[in-house]
Structure 1
Amino acid sequence: MEGSGVCVAVLAAGESRRMGFPKLVAPFAKSTLLERAVGAALASVAERVCVVTGASHEAMAPILERIAASAEKPLDIVRNERWAEGQGSSVAAAACYGHEQGCDALVMVVADQPFVSTEVLNELVAIQRESGAPVVMCSDGAQRGNPAAFDAPLFEHLEALQGDEGARAVIRALSPEMIKTVAVGPRLLCDADTPEEFARLESEVLHG
């Protein structure tokens, strides 16, 4: 499977307000949520990986620099100085990076979804490549969500995003036939937003 020109962007700029502590660098299932997401991205067919940091940039930077030193493909840190504006600013920063790097597709990954796998990322890339669809999203049958792949013509629209809505404003403007989906289990779309969810998801990762 060819992944040339594809970038995976790991969105990791939030302040974990509902959690009460920096969840992405906290111990999680013998690792951290950040390292799980970056590891899945680096193992994928994508040509390069970037991590959009923000509120916890200082805590994340040394971890990411250590990973980058031994990575077999480019791993870049994109610091989002506008992180407090919401996820839209992080999506915009990732799209700007993809644009600057000349990527022809961008896969967005939210770093607090511990069940996102390399296999799912590769399937998103494969379907986007084969279909030429502007957007390929994950779907559990009841809802659609991240990770999702976007082709280059959408980058300029993603770069214009503001606020906390993320890419959904861009997706809503597309006709249904322009959006493909990858079937996933419901827990892949789960994210760790509260201490209770964090503990539950960690237990599921450790014990199945």
Structure 2
Amino acid sequence: MTQPIGILLAAGSATRFGSNKLLHPLPDGVAIGIAAATALIQALPNSIAVVKPGDQLLIHAFTKLGLKVIENPRAHEGMGTSLAAGVNATADASGWLITLADMPRIKPATISALAEKLNNGASMVAPVFESQRGHPVGFSSYWREQLQSLTGDKGARDLITKNAYELELVMTEDAGVLQDIDYLRDVKNY
């Protein structure tokens, strides 16, 4: 069976951060978005990134890592349109693992465990760390049409909530599934 496609959502505006968040270095010197992308492609080499149109710095950085890059002309409308653009670009996939580019500490092993669950027939998957559901979230191809029609800034949250009975939770010791970076001060906590 083919692996699901990893979709790195990297088209946000980062207004709370105040600058190009995804190119900002972590304390180890690696840019936030590059760290997230690297973990994703280590687990799922055929991953893609969805970016804002014309974001040449990110396009170049992600392409150099080996990601196929999709520009979402509707990125300003919210995360849902970026997720839909990623699914539309890979519509023949067996499933998708959706990860956020501002979550650079998710371990490749966590992504691989979620992909394995999808490969073994799960409809929808998400990791859980210390009783909290995190990211990335995975979907089988069953959800293709619903994912392709997403809009707004909630991403797939409503789809997951309405179909919670389909969601398989994967327990993990990976705190990175809960750690995103919204503000410059968050970088110091890494």
Whether the TM-score (by the shorter chain) exceeds 0.5 is yes
3-state SS of the aligned residue for 1:48? coil
Alignment of 1:49-68 (within 5 A): 49-54=47-52, 57-68=55-66
The farther-off stretch of 46-55 and 121-130 is 46-55
Structure 1 residue 189: deviation in Å?
0.9
Structure 1 residue 5: deviation in Å?
4.0
CA distance in 1, matches of 2:122, 2:3: 16
Question: What is the aligned counterpart of 1:156 among 130, 145, 157?
Answer: 145
- Provide the TM-score with structure 2 as the length reference: 0.91
CA distance in 1, matches of 2:34, 2:103: 12
For this pair of structures, how many residues does the alignment match?
A: 188
User: What does residue 91 of structure 1 align with?
Assistant: 83
In structure 2, relative to structure 1, the CA distance for the partners of 1:190 and 1:66 (3 Å cut) is same
- Provide the TM-score with structure 1 as the length reference: 0.84
- Mapped contact 1:13–1:80 kept (Cα < 8 A): yes
In structure 2, relative to structure 1, the CA distance for the partners of 1:56 and 1:33 (3 Å cut) is farther
Structure 1 residue 103: deviation in Å?
0.8
Structure 1 residue 27: deviation in Å?
1.7
Alignment of 1:8-157 (within 5 A): 8-28=6-26, 29-44=28-43, 46=44, 48-54=46-52, 57-68=55-66, 75-99=67-91, 102-130=92-120, 132-157=121-146
In structure 2, relative to structure 1, the CA distance for the partners of 1:160 and 1:196 (3 Å cut) is same
Question: What is the aligned counterpart of 1:179 among 146, 162, 167?
Answer: 167
CA distance in 1, matches of 2:7, 2:164: 25
**Where does structure 2 lack aligned partners over 5 or more consecutive residues?**
none
CA distance in 2, matches of 1:187, 1:129: 23
CA distance in 2, matches of 1:76, 1:138: 25
3-state SS of the aligned residue for 1:146? coil
User: What does residue 188 of structure 1 align with?
Assistant: 177
**Where does structure 1 lack aligned partners over 5 or more consecutive residues?**
69-74, 202-208
Q: Percent identity?
A: 24
3-state SS of the aligned residue for 2:138? strand
3-state SS of the aligned residue for 2:168? strand
User: What does residue 72 of structure 1 align with?
Assistant: none
**How large is the RMSD of aligned CA atoms in angstroms?**
1.7
Return the letter of the residue paired with 1:107. Answer: L
3-state SS of the aligned residue for 1:78? strand
Structure 1 residue 55: deviation in Å?
6.6
3-state SS of the aligned residue for 2:109? helix
CA distance in 2, matches of 1:55, 1:24: 15
